[in-house]
Structure 1
Amino acid sequence: MSGVGEHSPLPRLTVPGLLALRRSRDPGAVAIDVVGGDSLTFEQWDTASTALAATLRHRGVVRGDAVGLVFANKDWTWFAVAYCGVQKAGAVAVPLHDTLPPTRLAQLLAACGAVMAITGQAGVERLIGASAMDGDDDARPDDVGQILFTSGTSGEPKGVTATHANLTTGVQTHPRRMTLAHSQRFLHAFPIGTNAAQTMLMNALSAKPSAVTLPRFTPRRFAQRLPEVGTAFLVPAMAIELLDSGALDGVELGGVHLVGSTAAPLPPAIAQRLARAFPRAAIVNYYTSTEAAPAQTSMIFDPTRPDAVGRVQPGVVRITDPAGSPLPDGEIGEVWLRSPHARRYLGDDAATGHTFQDGWVRMGDLGRLRDGYLYLADRDGDVVKSGAYKISTLEVEAALHEHPSIAEAAVVGVPHPVLGTQLAAVIVPRPTAGDLGLAAVRAFLAERLAEHQLPGGVVLLDQLPRNDAGKVLKRQLGQLFPGDTGGRQ
């Protein structure tokens, strides 16, 4: 008798349904292991979340209610229990990190209409301890199971709703087809409340290896765990810090077969350094967004196509003009990803209609298709119009990352009295950095870029401002360059 997914289409699943399936197959297997903290088996996860669901129902939580989940990374196992427990009650999980300022946390809970918030290990234990009955699984595929807030790099965070059908799209349930099958454990340190962290939670439920997570990312602690894992996930900022720290020196990395980068574009120079540091690993760049997930493209780093972010299957990506009409290969336009059971913005029909259309998601990026590969030009709002030119900040940033004295770099557009807008660069120098003045930076870039792509101003910082997802807050950087940038340093 064939198994599910071998010769028949996958059933429409729910997240608690996936958990029940894993418990039936691997009850004693560790699903999540927090370094220096707790671990969680599938049986424990299922049993505890069922008890929590029963208490929520007893306290009046009904189908469709939003429940805030406010957790620190040290409490990943308790977060996982609360997440599935809320969904088993038919309610909607709203992951939030406990480092959010109280005012912001209150705003987000109010924005999603949360009827209550569960906070940390103590909050979960109280609810489980109060359980007096068994809880059934009330989740349905078309129910909203999650609200996740966007990173807010280009404006106020938006709540994005996802159904269980969306969250489980593409999950392989047959034991011989589970993802990351080359690994027994995978490692990450993504903060709860980010899209990257939610992807790791779904990996813990559906992939073959167990999840290993750090309470906080530090290069040395991350490097210490690498000999025991087959897969490691990072954001580019973490990758840069790890490579520059020296923490990989002397660490056995031969067992790492995949290093995945997500949440932000991976500069080609950093991908090349990762490939040298992990000689037996595929360096994979994942391209998605909070709105588009779980739809994504992925690309094993290829030195012959260093700027490509994904090999595209037919019907998965399209490039359009602003009106939504398809553009020919090679032309730059708006990037859309195909997303069955697409997500929606919470309480914003106008924004939903703009971003989500007929199973497609507008990514907010500009890019092009060429020979079956996707290349990004820039975020739509980050393209700098300077004089007669439209300039990609990603291209300039990639060139800056090739400089041996530059650890990190971000490029923004700032006001200019003649051109309207001009490029400016914010640079984090390495400790042994040489001359990174404006003239030296422009001379370095002049060998790689056109004249109109050279910055007119440079500022050096100890670190770039980033959100929890690791994305640079470019709006803050623009404030470093008031008025004319000519000659600024």
Structure 2
Amino acid sequence: MPESLATVRLAVQASGNRAEIILFSDLLENEQTGALSRNPLPNDGHALRTLKDLLQSPSVLDLPTMLSKISPSGAAALQQTSGTTGLPKMAMRSHLSMISELEAITDDPTCKPYEVRRLFCTPIFHAFSAPEMLFNALRLGQVSYLMRRFDDSFAQKVHDLRITETFGAPAMLLKLANKPEDYHLLQSLRYVAYGGAPLGSELRRRFLSIFEMPPRLVPVYGMTEGGWFTTLKHPEEDDTGSVGRPVPGYELKISSSNFDQSGKKHSEGEIMVRGPQVMQGYLGNAEATSSAFDDGWLKTGDIGYLEDGKLYLVDRAKDMIKVNGWQVSPVEMQNVLLQMNDILEAAVFGEGHDVDEHPVACVVKKETSLTAEAVREHLRGSLASYKISRCEVRFVETIPKSTTGKVVKELLKRQAALA
């Protein structure tokens, strides 16, 4: 091969393991030299192609033929898990899975008494955000604005762009509730969807209190391995603390065989889901895939219960704290802590093992005079004594969070150890 034609690229065809040679050097060749690249390959009926060939627009775009070659069961997306229960894994979701989800979560905009104008500030790659940010915004033709991340300009953008709908984590709602000077900029909101972490009743009350006409505060519960599991469709609202109803296509059940039900009003257990939206498995990790399912049901690792068709979360199974054999929910303790006016933020985790296990409450002060004993006294007023009898209170500067709004427990534990 001439030296001027020596620069090549190998591109593996999707239909097999054959390689096609594409000449890069043709951009520097004249038309006569470029014609050399069209000589057929030896013992092969195909000709070499050049970049000029690839840059030519096709004469006919046969969309039905192109779509017919896409298998509904073929992998459409690889989404990285957050790694909260170990190293991150790549969840494979098929075309059927993704399309089923988009249709299942769609809220008919024509039945809403306002123009849908959306502002997104959540990570575009996250399973909570991607269906609406990447696909439904285009599919449904909704006016949508994307921020790189949530910051102090969010409220002003809501006002200037006349935003009516937004999506975020509870950490975002807490920051907005803690900025009274921006309350007047948020009044156009009519729908706020939240996900990624639990929303306590106190934070819900504080956030809704900033509005003259409170928006619908709508839960979204799900995980990377299956997208959205539950939500509430327009115009339903719920103030009982549920995370909504299963979206179309999903079945939910509670596996309560390994959970103590004594004294419980509802049958609590691990939440299991099944439906066409569930992933095919973890890429290159058959062992993790097998352990993620139980007879076709995806194990969420979350504890909850069902009532009146709605799902209620108790906590992550791995986050529950055992104090002398009694279960203590970090979410419940965090909600009570946020009811204290002198506390800006709070997070709770378990420390110790077996008989030494106990809760550790990490608190960001609003008032510097706040003491650990005052915090414990506040907890005693709302919780059973066994839940706070051995509770440690540690004051920290911040509560570390991931880009998706989840508390990064390992970082928090390191901070607390230095407090």
Distance 1:129 1:380 in 2: 56
1:180 Cα deviation from its structure 2 partner:
8.4
1:252 Cα deviation from its structure 2 partner:
5.6
Question: What's the CA shift string for 1:214-271, capped at 9, x where partnerless?
Answer: 1231133344324512211111111111221335233261x32211111111121121
Residue aligned with 1:183, SS: coil
Partner residue of 1:473? 408
Cα 1:221–1:309 shift into 2, 3 Å: closer
1:448 aligns with 2:379: no
User: Contact (CA 8 Å) 2:124, 2:134: kept in 1 or not?
Assistant: no
Partner residue of 1:284? 218
Look up the equivalent residue of 2:269 and give its one-letter code.
G
Look up the equivalent residue of 1:377 and give its one-letter code.
V
User: Contact (CA 8 Å) 1:287, 1:309: kept in 2 or not?
Assistant: yes
User: Contact (CA 8 Å) 2:232, 2:245: kept in 1 or not?
Assistant: yes
Residue aligned with 1:452, SS: helix
User: Contact (CA 8 Å) 2:78, 2:91: kept in 1 or not?
Assistant: yes
User: Contact (CA 8 Å) 1:183, 1:208: kept in 2 or not?
Assistant: no
Question: What's the CA shift string for 1:423-478, capped at 9, x where partnerless?
Answer: 00111223xx2543221111011111111222622222222122221111112323
Cα 1:215–1:312 shift into 2, 3 Å: closer
User: Contact (CA 8 Å) 1:219, 1:245: kept in 2 or not?
Assistant: no
- Tell me which of 64, 75, 79 is aligned to 1:148: 79
Partner residue of 1:15? none
Distance 1:218 1:64 in 2: 47
Residue aligned with 2:184, SS: coil
Distance 2:143 2:232 in 1: 22
Cα 1:171–1:156 shift into 2, 3 Å: closer
User: Contact (CA 8 Å) 1:309, 1:374: kept in 2 or not?
Assistant: yes
Distance 2:298 2:198 in 1: 18
Q: Which stretches in structure 1 are left out of the alignment for 5+ residues?
A: 1-56, 66-126, 483-487
Cα 1:465–1:252 shift into 2, 3 Å: closer
Partner residue of 1:23? none
Partner residue of 2:292? 355
Partner residue of 2:165? 231
Cα 1:269–1:129 shift into 2, 3 Å: farther
1:290-301 to structure 2, matched below 5 A, reads 290-298=224-232
1:294 Cα deviation from its structure 2 partner:
3.6
Partner residue of 1:210? 143
Cα 1:193–1:341 shift into 2, 3 Å: closer
Partner residue of 2:243? 309
Look up the equivalent residue of 1:190 and give its one-letter code.
T
Look up the equivalent residue of 1:229 and give its one-letter code.
I
Question: What's the CA shift string for 1:391-430, capped at 9, x where partnerless?
Answer: 11111111112111222211001127x8320100111223
Question: What's the CA shift string for 1:281-313, capped at 9, x where partnerless?
Answer: 11111111111214334486644x1x3222458
1:117-136 to structure 2, matched below 5 A, reads 131-134=55-58, 136=66
TM-score normalised by L of structure 2: 0.75
User: Contact (CA 8 Å) 1:219, 1:247: kept in 2 or not?
Assistant: no
Question: Identity percentage over the alignment?
Answer: 27
Look up the equivalent residue of 1:159 and give its one-letter code.
M
Cα 1:322–1:162 shift into 2, 3 Å: farther
Distance 2:194 2:167 in 1: 6
Partner residue of 1:194? 126
Cα 1:140–1:445 shift into 2, 3 Å: same
1:130 Cα deviation from its structure 2 partner:
6.9
Partner residue of 1:164? 95
Partner residue of 2:324? 387
Distance 2:76 2:13 in 1: 14
User: Contact (CA 8 Å) 2:195, 2:220: kept in 1 or not?
Assistant: yes
Residue aligned with 1:408, SS: strand
User: Contact (CA 8 Å) 2:123, 2:404: kept in 1 or not?
Assistant: yes
User: Contact (CA 8 Å) 2:364, 2:398: kept in 1 or not?
Assistant: yes
1:60 Cα deviation from its structure 2 partner:
4.0
Distance 2:303 2:147 in 1: 34
Partner residue of 1:71? none
1:345 aligns with 2:282: yes
Distance 1:427 1:409 in 2: 5
User: Contact (CA 8 Å) 1:259, 1:284: kept in 2 or not?
Assistant: yes
Residue aligned with 2:299, SS: strand
Cα 1:297–1:192 shift into 2, 3 Å: closer
Question: What's the CA shift string for 1:120-173, capped at 9, x where partnerless?
Answer: xxxxxxx99974344855543211011111111232111111111111115449
Partner residue of 1:265? 198
Look up the equivalent residue of 2:386 and give its one-letter code.
H
User: Contact (CA 8 Å) 1:220, 1:247: kept in 2 or not?
Assistant: no
Give the aligned CA root-mean-square deviation in angstroms.
Answer: 3.6
Look up the equivalent residue of 2:276 and give its one-letter code.
P
Partner residue of 2:46? none
Residue aligned with 1:318, SS: strand
Distance 1:342 1:329 in 2: 30
User: Contact (CA 8 Å) 2:349, 2:359: kept in 1 or not?
Assistant: yes
Cα 1:427–1:64 shift into 2, 3 Å: farther
Residue aligned with 1:62, SS: coil
User: Contact (CA 8 Å) 2:270, 2:300: kept in 1 or not?
Assistant: yes
Cα 1:442–1:198 shift into 2, 3 Å: same
Partner residue of 1:403? 340
Look up the equivalent residue of 2:363 and give its one-letter code.
I
Structure 1 range deviating more: 243-252 or 360-369? 243-252
Distance 1:333 1:128 in 2: 61
1:330 aligns with 2:266: yes
1:346 Cα deviation from its structure 2 partner:
1.5
Distance 1:129 1:204 in 2: 34
1:369 aligns with 2:270: no
